[in-house]
Amino acid sequence: MYDILVISDDVVGKKMAGPGIRAWELSRCLSRHFKTALAVPDYSSPAGEISVFEKVPFDVFPYSVKDPRVLRDRGETSKIVLIQGFVLSKFPFIKEWPAHLICDVYVPFPLENLFIHKWKIPNLKDREFVHLKDLRVFNDQMIHGDHFLCANVRQRDLFVGSLLSLNRIDPRYLDRSPVLDNLISIVPFGIDPEDEGKAGGGLETIFPRIKRESLLLIWGGVVSNWFDPVTLIRSLNKALERNPAIQLLFLSTTHPNPMLPEFDMAKEAVRVSDELGLTDEHVFFNREWVDYYGRGSYFSAADIGVSIHKVHFETYYSFRTRILDYFKYDLPVICTKGDYFSELVEERGLGISVDPEDEDELAAAILDLGDEGNRDRVRQKIREEKKRFHWEEVSQPLVRYCRGVLAGEIGKKSSTSGKALAFLFSRQKTSGPAHSIRRAFWTLSQKLPMKLSVKIKRLFRF
């Protein structure tokens, strides 16, 4: 029996992206206080990655969608279960467990998938169908979760709106928790303050044409479809006219999760770079995902971290986890305005934020931070700011909540009943006379005392 079972929906191992890293690091933090286990997809192959999984302070075991018996056996006896992504749709029996269910929704996947599907699915009707399926998966979590994790205040507002619309915030709940602290917690992505070393081949070995004396920009993470690498590449081309020593490394054009499709924007970035004659001279593309405990050799060699996107719906609610790798290695940041981190960069002087799709402004920012003195001033501010993003620090709301659950101070929430959902989403058709009667009754009810009006409406189910 485990106090807490964390179920990752993404690859966990030597090579892992944001969701897998988050499941791994939260498991480490939780294991300092509770008996913890981490369940990972069977294609993570933990048994073959001894260097990563040995001597960790929590249990790690693989699960399979085809044969969920291992997950079912261990989950049914766990007191708290923390899930992410599409886990609940893959294993709907989790809703029947007596465990307290925490849903980590720091990745608002219905928003991300809108942009993935736009590139991958040409037919609008098919995109609408897939989007409805994504919403059904998301709403299922909103209905059945006992607690929710998000990454920033913007996301909290988004998810509180979702919860309100599904009647998870009702008079009974507000009487117990007026500020919703037992319903949703802000748990940002974090930083491991320890230097994991520089294993994994190293920058010089893989990219010998990247010069030690160059001004190296690094794009951490994948080139997803909601990013804008094309504007960055064109801006770099302009900046080269004044500083020919600028180079740019895209850390990966692929994702470690074999279940995810290729990102078309990565292909477009390569095409534009080739067209401008920059590839393998000033712009470099790493085709493989970098080992989690080997990425230090790349970030340590860089001078500036970049995160460039267009402004759209996904941008406002995003939490760009790559920015935290820039903070960890004291890299000044150049980012596009519109997301959470751009505001932080502006307010705290952690780099430069620029308008979206403005090549001249972005080129000027690159040249500005090309000055060593400017970068040194920014680095000092980053060293102070990044302390509050350490994993041990950001996970504290989750730790406190789990303590309350295990101590019996916080009980399971009542999910929205089927009857309530039917009432919320039903469309009542009435005849002309019936509609007139309803309007007259509604007008009368506005003049009656509130208590009397409510009693009459309940009596006639109006």
Q: What is the pLDDT of residue 462?
A: 46
123 occurs within a structural domain: yes
Amino acid, res. 283: V
Domain that holds residue 160: 4-190+393-406
Backbone φ and ψ of 275, nearest 5°:
-60, -35
Q: What is the pLDDT of residue 121?
A: 77
The CA-based angle 363-366-369, given to 5 degrees, is: 150
Q: What is the pLDDT of residue 199?
A: 45
76 occurs within a structural domain: yes
144 plus 159 within the same structural domain: yes
Spell out the residues 6+ positions from residue 383 whose beta carbon is closer than 8 angstroms to its own.
330
385 plus 399 within the same structural domain: no
39 plus 89 within the same structural domain: yes
Q: What is the pLDDT of residue 261?
A: 60
Following CA atoms 33, 149, 13, 306 in sequence, which dihedral angle do they give, to the nearest 10 degrees?
Answer: -120
337 plus 233 within the same structural domain: yes
Q: Which two tokens stand for residue 246?
A: 């600028």
235 plus 145 within the same structural domain: no
The CA-based angle 36-39-43, given to 5 degrees, is: 155
153 occurs within a structural domain: yes
Strand pairing category for 184-186 and 4-7: unpaired
136 occurs within a structural domain: yes
CATH number at residue 28: 3.40.50.2000
Q: What is the pLDDT of residue 450?
A: 62
Query: Taking Cα atoms as reference points, which of 168, 165, 144 lies closest to residue 424?
Result: 165
Domain count, the chain: 2
55 occurs within a structural domain: yes
- 């067209």: which residue's tokens? 275
Q: What is the pLDDT of residue 307?
A: 95
Domain end position, chosen among 389, 422, 441: 389
172 plus 214 within the same structural domain: no
452 occurs within a structural domain: no
Q: CA-CA distance, 217 to 40, in Å (whole number)?
A: 33
Q: What is the pLDDT of residue 200?
A: 46
108 occurs within a structural domain: yes
92 plus 234 within the same structural domain: no
pLDDT in tens, 313-326: 888 888 888 899 99
Domain end position, chosen among 343, 360, 389: 389
pLDDT beneath 70, residues of the chain: 45-52, 119, 195-202, 255-262, 427-448, 450-462
Domain end position, chosen among 389, 414, 449: 389
Give the relative orientation of helices 396-406 and 18-31 as an angle to the nearest 10 degrees: 50
103 plus 148 within the same structural domain: yes
368 plus 291 within the same structural domain: yes
Angstrom CA distances, 253 to 112, 166, 187, 263, stand at 17, 38, 28, 8
Q: pTM, whole model, 2 decimals?
A: 0.85
44 plus 149 within the same structural domain: yes
Q: What is the pLDDT of residue 421?
A: 79
pLDDT in tens, 141-196: 999 999 999 999 999 999 999 999 999 998 888 888 888 889 999 999 999 887 65
53 plus 177 within the same structural domain: yes
296 occurs within a structural domain: yes
147 plus 282 within the same structural domain: no
User: Burial, 211: exposed, middle or buried (Cβ in 10 Å; 0-12, 13-18, 19+)?
Assistant: exposed
Q: What is the pLDDT of residue 174?
A: 86
